[in-house]
Structure 1
Amino acid sequence: MPTKKRSTPASAPATDEATAAGAIPPEADGGDADGPSAAAAGQRSVSAEEIAQDIATAIVEKRLPPGTRLREEALGKVYGVSRTKIRAALLTLSRDKLIQIVPDKGALVSKPSVQEAREVFAVRRVLEAEVVRLFVAQARPRDFERLQQHIHIERTTLEPRTSVGSAREKLLGDFHVEMAECTGNVTLTELVREMVARSSLIAMLYPSTNDPHCSSDEHEELLRVCRRGDTAAAVACMNEHLQRVEASLRLDGGVPERQLDLVKALLS
């Protein structure tokens, strides 16, 4: 599911954790929030798909931690729409495994288990091996240029003076989605996009020791091997990259206690 960025109203309700979660709060460093403004919502009808995209972006960018409750009433006020439309958006997110709809509790940002985390990366290795095969077989010069430009943006974002955690990590994931898009296989791209989003959720719950500079270097190396037309080496390169990213997750250490306070931190 594509993730578009919008601007959440500065006056969004934040009277408690559940309401704040629904409002898709800004980052703790005081950065702008994402999501349409109440004024914009009043000027035109916001679709359920757009709402789902906004919430998905907030999850991928690690502004909505696992376990956060997404209240229909609060979301309806933020987007200026009926609860029926909010329910449709939440159903979409539920199908993408980014949230869970729990009886008597409502919608919660998913909290993937260690087993699920390992399964997600196992599936990514299968899917993205096929992405690499298709890419090597049919990539055009403009596709290589597109990914090279993305790597340039990654490295610019990684500069200490401009680096922002959520934007940096989203960019690293977007490289994989963009490579899938270059294959022209829409279904494969949708699956990769879902797995990348779920990987971001996993990395939020099981903090990673991954060095983003290392990931960007590996993207560069993967692209270099693809240019050579060596399919087997390119697939191996992608597998090694994903294995290293998975290995950087603290899957054996349990969920850190500090995760429980992230919603409050976002509002400070």
Structure 2
Amino acid sequence: MDEDASTGAERAGRPPLAGPPGTGVVVPRAVAALAGGEPATAVWRNELGGLTFRLGADRYVKWVARGTPGLDLAAEAARLAWAAPATPVPRVLGQGADDDGSWLVTAAMPGRSAVEHDARRAAVAVGLGLRRLHDALPVARCPFTWSAPDRLRRARDRLATGRGGPATWSAEHRGLSVTDALAVLRDPPPVERPVVCHGDACVPNTLVDDDGAWVGHVDLGSLGVADPWADLAVAAWSTEWNVGPGYTDEVYAAYGAAPDRERIAYYRLLWDLG
């Protein structure tokens, strides 16, 4: 794929999001120590500044600077360990923190990010993989939540501290004031059915094999029980940022759902505010 996720985001009318970090990334001391002499190659930078490094051929480490809001790697480790018996996700090898930041080490998984594949197959893999995850994870036994009321409360707190706002939202939402957006989100649509959501089931976090078939998910730091459209609305939206326009219906069809415009609009706005 010639364009990274940031370029795709700009094309879709939203601020740059995550993408390959480029050159000149300084390897944190903890990451170098974890590498143990093996190469530590920066492969991804998320929208909050967290970095992912490949360590040798069979491990990855996520690292985030101390005090970075919105990235709790201990919480992600707990979610991965909980989900691993039911669905293909990275196996946790270690997690820790020091004065500089925190880290999460996982085993490499088969496959590669769907952003590296044909756009249509990537969209199908996103939808099919999300459906399989929702069907596999046991809702009744999930200790984590990603409900709209909880997310809205966190969004309010975030906005109250001056983080976020219309300038960081997608083009379709920038005409709203913060007050207007919060008013729209005040009453979420009824939950269609509770499922355990991924929390960020976008194209880059969907893994595929060489034929484009779904093989697993990564980055489950927000996993929790919610309406399936909390995942599905944004997963389909991410195809516009990452592979280009025209593929959202492929995601819905592969998932096995007709587009629910009310829930799509609600959860995309909630995503922007969060």
TM-score (norm 2): 0.30
Rg larger for: 1
Which structure features the higher share of strand residues? 2
Which structure features the higher share of helix residues? 1
TM-score (norm 1): 0.31
